Amino acid sequence: MAYLHTPTIACTASSFPTPILDGVQILSLDANLVPNYTAQSPPFFNPNHGTISPVQLDFCNVTIIHTHPSRPASSPEDRVETQIWLPTKVRDNSREQAWNGRLQAVGGGGFIAGLYSYMLTAMDAAMAEGYATVATNAGIYATDINGGDADSWFLPNGPGKPDYFALENFAYRSIGEMGLLAKQVVKSYYGSEARYSYFSGCSNGGRQGYVLAQRYPDQYNGIAACAPALYTDEWVENYWAQQIMKDTNSYPWLCELNALSAAAVATCDLLDGVEDGILQEPDKCAFDPYSMLGESICCTDKGLGGTAKVSEAAVLIAQGTWTGNRTFLKDVHFRGETGGYDVKLDYAGSTTCSNITQSCMGGPDPLTLNLMRIFVQQDKSWDPRNITDAQLEAIRLKSLASLSDIGTNSHNLSAFKQSGGKMITYHGTSDPAVSYKTSRRFYDAATKNDGDLHDFYRLFLAPGLGHGVGGRGAYPHTTFRALVKWVEGGVVPGKLEATSEPDGEGRVINRILCAYPQVAVWDGVGSDDEFESWKCA
């Protein structure tokens, strides 16, 4: 088959045949040419990818609105928007062809399925490298990535009246449909099919990548899914620290939590032989937060010259975050999956403090709070501040029972393997939002199903890295490039090169990330900031 890499029809709605998809009714298809567009990707902004220099191009924006005639009568008409961006002409001579013959779908984040600010940057980046690209909003026209307005689509008929069909759209249905729509549009526009199809996503987008591998295993040749929000139905567990503070009637100052974090890192930093503020293997740290109980510390949160004593509530939060020991909550059964000892404690133990009143109050993570309010309790006005431990446990169990569609709990990837697909996940060990241990749990469980898992699916743990990007650790900007080499050239990724953002003194850290269960070990001889000084072991 010849690949022309140039359009064969005009970028007008009338030029495109209406896509055909089982169970889908196309409500509209619009197409418009966007000229002189600058596509690019800034550094440390687009997970899975490195910096992509600006490219001036024209592209055809095809926007499709579709619905599902088979939806229940109780569900309002869904209007799922999918945008397909088709590079048409390169204007700055950066390459010969506008289209490289490939498709790259991009995912969402939080409670947004896609087509949201930074996901649009991911589409920009894809076009800058020559990909046709696609994203969908799954019929969700909300704007709060933390889910504060999720009631607009999950509870359109009021409290206690959930629209589970809309939840299925968000969880998996529309993610599967966008690729099928995009492939038809690509073929219509360029006169040939995409040679390879890829998906790139992080957080909820990472979860979407796993959904594609499980439910739509033959749609994509390669999937890059970083910091995946797996086991979303377990997120009620993230409320544990707020419950401890309520039960003890003690709300730590941020300075207490920061002091505990700094002490843990200082104690364990040299376990890997390198003093860099990064714990190469955080599980090996054994710092006891109780060793600081009652210690007086500087606390600028309370004003200039302020001091505080490390409270037991702060110690309990540190212990629960780092070790999973949350036995203070006797009636709540937590899995105890945690971050490493270098995870910042202010996420789990979030408080709002005032140096005027010299007091603090709880400030739960909004993603967790909105999941509990809107998706579990199904009432946006519900207030968790006075719930008992037994009530929290009931809410946890209710979430597991009602939100399994977004839990991504299947560990069977046999169909994805059979299709020839490849998947790469990286996950920061300092991720405060989604514990890296959830990715490790998934990988270990999937390995029990398939001893050859390593042949098509690889996990890379990133020491010191935050949620997709950020933190002191090195960011694997080579992830997507490694995926393409694996899919198209058979180059198996045993390691990924990673580089940190500059610190306050401009220092940059270079590391390699090793395919789990291996870890990177410094050779003790070369500069610890040189890739060559680290080996997988």
Q: Check if the beta carbon of residue 170 is closer than 8 Å to that of residue 140.
A: yes
Q: Most distant CA pair in the chain: distance in Å?
A: 73
Query: What DSSP element (H or E) covers 457?
Result: strand 457-462
Three-state SS at 383: coil
Is the predicted pLDDT of residue 2 greater than 60, yes or no? Answer: no
Q: How far apart are CA 325 and CA 520, in angstroms?
A: 28
**Token pair recorded at residue 381:** 């006005």
DSSP 431: -
Q: Which of 521, 346, 336 is nearest to 433 (CA)?
A: 346
Instruction: Flag the least confident range among 316-325, 363-372, 393-402, 521-530.
Output: 316-325
Cα separations in angstroms, 428 against 106, 203, 214: 20, 11, 23
Which CATH class for the 13-232+406-495 domain? Answer: alpha beta
Higher pLDDT, 346 or 265: 265
Cα separations in angstroms, 472 against 374, 501, 509: 34, 7, 8
Percentage with pLDDT > 90 across the chain: 81
Q: How far apart are CA 250 and CA 88, in angstroms?
A: 60
Q: Check if the beta carbon of residue 519 is closer than 8 Å to that of residue 496.
A: no
Q: Check if the beta carbon of residue 514 is closer than 8 Å to that of residue 493.
A: no
Is the predicted pLDDT of residue 73 greater than 90, yes or no? Answer: no
Instruction: Flag the least confident range among 298-302, 327-331, 476-480, 481-485.
Output: 327-331
Question: What average pLDDT does range 437-463 have in this prediction?
Answer: 96
Query: What DSSP element (H or E) covers 170?
Result: none
**Token pair recorded at residue 446:** 């999937």
Is the predicted pLDDT of residue 405 greater than 90, yes or no? Answer: no
Angle CA 303–305–311, to nearest 5: 75
Three-state SS at 87: strand
Query: In this structure, which amino acid lies at residue 409?
Result: N
Question: What average pLDDT does range 268-287 have in this prediction?
Answer: 93
DSSP 171: I
Q: Check if the beta carbon of residue 280 is closer than 8 Å to that of residue 271.
A: yes
pLDDT for res 511: 97
pLDDT for res 181: 98
**Token pair recorded at residue 390:** 């037994």
Q: Which residues pair with 360 in a beta bridge?
A: 353
DSSP 73: T
Question: What average pLDDT does range 485-507 have in this prediction?
Answer: 94
Question: What average pLDDT does range 97-126 have in this prediction?
Answer: 94
Query: In this structure, which amino acid lies at residue 458?
Result: R
Buried b (16+ CB within 10 A) or exposed e, 150-172: bbbbbbeeeeeebbebbbbbbbb
Q: Which of 238, 519, 235 is nearest to 400 (CA)?
A: 235
Cα separations in angstroms, 310 against 260, 362, 398: 8, 17, 35
Q: Check if the beta carbon of residue 87 is closer than 8 Å to that of residue 59.
A: yes
Strands, E assignment, 292-343: 296-298, 307-309
Q: What dihedral angle (degrees, nearest 10) is formed by the CA atoms of 44, 46, 50, 52?
A: -110
Q: Which residues pair with 80 in a beta bridge?
A: 66
Q: Which of 84, 132, 141 is nearest to 112 (CA)?
A: 141
Q: Which residues pair with 89 in a beta bridge?
A: 58
- The CATH 3.40.50.1820 portion of the chain extends over 13-232+406-495
Query: What DSSP element (H or E) covers 390?
Result: helix 389-402
Q: Check if the beta carbon of residue 523 is closer than 8 Å to that of residue 537.
A: no
pLDDT for res 3: 53
**Token pair recorded at residue 444:** 């270990």
Is the predicted pLDDT of residue 9 greater than 70, yes or no? Answer: yes
